[in-house]
Structure 1
């Protein structure tokens, strides 16, 4: 808004990342890129998010002589707050449509900083998790905030997850679950999701948290939200959990490094007895 020329190939405008009244956003067009800077100090990531563009959109494609095609406007469709034990907002996962997830943290004057630098991420719904630990309640741990929210709202269970999805689990998250009566890890129905769930379960066992692991019942159900949509009830899930054995990591592959390597001449077995014996 209030875009005004301020020189050759340069403009000033109201910065969309803060409550700007006097144009403080500088935009400069260079031969190979566009420079964007908020003179009031907003982080570039906050400005780009407010403009609904990516960093790559500011650079020109030298092979085609034009800017890279924008990905199109992205709309925020959900936000998931990550709170400390006292209920203070530490960071937030933001879901965009077309589907994309980004992390941000509170900045000054109500602005957002689009990274997690300088903070220690926590698990989702940490205050409720700590309450469940104190009360001896079972805690469910699916992959993703939407699944956790669906377990709470549709099944009435305690549920948490970790930020940033599969493959991003940290051992520090397991420490936040120490003392839990039981944690039930729920695997998504794909190889990354299954590996992620097994890594979490092993991480929890390492800090002596009683752990169980649930996999999806059929190929057409990809996650717990699908299962709920298919008619899963809280009583059914509790019965399934009750019948599960404690999680045990899969056995490690056998170590064959000390076994002899037998090399023969390639003749039929009946013709290479001497060669084989000699090799052994």
Structure 2
């Protein structure tokens, strides 16, 4: 098997390969595209440049190098296998980055993750999750697309585990983003928005037609931009009952100050013994709406300037 150091430097150029592919999306390491060797629905082909400008290809759904080469109509000297090892996983709390398309982070004996399994896990209708864009993938993960405010798909996160950690992977070159911008942009009424941590809590509140944005982890408040909340006068932050919940409130209060956002902030929490919004819903699906409405009414005001914890309802000291 050849290595990167001894591959020839002749062959088709990077941009010429991209011209032959569909669904191309640039990344910091090269590009991702739909693999031409199988019925690809979610980009699983990574394309990058090796030494001497040689084009390197790898299908992370399992297609062989020869199958990709044949599908592209290229000769054996045009492209090379991408034999590089995936970089060490980042130490993010909820995201693991690997080379190109991430590898499964679950153990070999783990069950594949499907939209159906996620529906059962979250107690949300499978068809509803599919309407949000969630898709099964041959790799045994679920694609969770992120959209910009105009509805354009800008990245995919991959749910790789139902219960283990990390639950999500993402493609190299993608960074954490705010989730739900497209659905918030479609609303005519933006008198308030609820900020939650993660995708499943966002799905839960969207299911009940609440204006909601999902922040990608307790430590990623800086991903929130003023344009996301510019015309919103009231923000409600769901503070989970753990240390990460405190970090979430602290980070958002600092971020709102840094953005010079003007409005009122309120904090609400799930009932005692319940971790997050989705668990709250699962504890009483029939009574969730009335319970959440009551929590909004009783939410504690947060004087986020200048003291980020004044009025907070959980002691984070």
TM-score (norm: length of structure 1): 0.58
Task: Name the SS for the 1:204 alignment partner.
Answer: helix
What do residues 97-139 of structure 1 show as CA deviations (whole Å, max 9, x unaligned)? 24322223xxxxxxxxx2227xxx642111222334x423432
* Aligned match for 2:68, one of 1, 20, 26: 20
Determine the C-alpha separation between the residues in 2 that align with 1:26 and 1:162. Answer: 37
CA-CA distance at 1:83 after TM superposition:
1.3
Q: How far apart, in 2, do the equivalents of 1:27 and 1:127 lie?
A: 35
- Counterpart CA distance in 2 for 1:79 and 1:222 is 25
Q: Cα distance, 1:148 vs. partner?
A: 0.6
Aligned to 1:239: 294
1:93 is matched with 157
Distance in 1 (CA, whole Å) between partners of 2:170 and 2:156 is: 6
Q: Which residue of 2 aligns with 1:115?
A: 173
Residue correspondence of structure 1 range 1-280 to structure 2 within 5 A: 15-17=58-60, 20-22=68-70, 26=81, 35=84, 45-46=99-100, 49=102, 52=103, 72=108, 75=112, 76-97=140-161, 98-100=164-166, 101-104=168-171, 114-116=172-174, 122-132=177-187, 134-153=188-207, 155-163=208-216, 165-170=217-222, 172-204=224-256, 206-218=260-272, 220-231=273-284, 232-248=287-303, 249-251=308-310
Name the Cα RMSD after superposition. 3.7
CA 1:135 to 1:175, structure 2 compared with 1: closer, same or farther past 3 Å?
A: same
Query: For each residue in 1:157-192, what CA deviation from the matched residue of structure 2 results, as whole angstroms up to 9, or x when unmatched?
Result: 2221123x1111116434411211322111122112
Q: CA deviation at 1:16?
A: 2.2
Alpha-carbon deviations, 1:195-231, whole Å to 9, x = none? 212321443364113221112220x211111111111
Aligned residues of 1:151 and 1:159 also touching (Cα < 8 A): yes
| Residues 125 and 160, structure 1, Cα contact 8 Å, conserved in 2 | yes
**Structure 2: how far apart are the matches of 1:81 and 1:173?**
19
Q: What SS is found at the alignment partner of 2:219?
A: coil
Structure label with greater radius of gyration = 1
Taking structure 2 as the reference length, the TM-score comes to: 0.52
- Secondary structure at the aligned position of 2:256 is classed as helix
For residue 143 of structure 1, report the CA deviation from its aligned partner. 0.8
Q: Which runs of 5+ in 1 are unaligned?
A: 29-34, 38-43, 55-69, 105-113, 252-280
Unaligned stretches of 5+ residues in structure 2: 7-56, 71-75, 87-97, 113-139, 311-317
Q: Is the 8 A contact 2:85 2:99 kept in 1?
A: no
Aligned length: 199
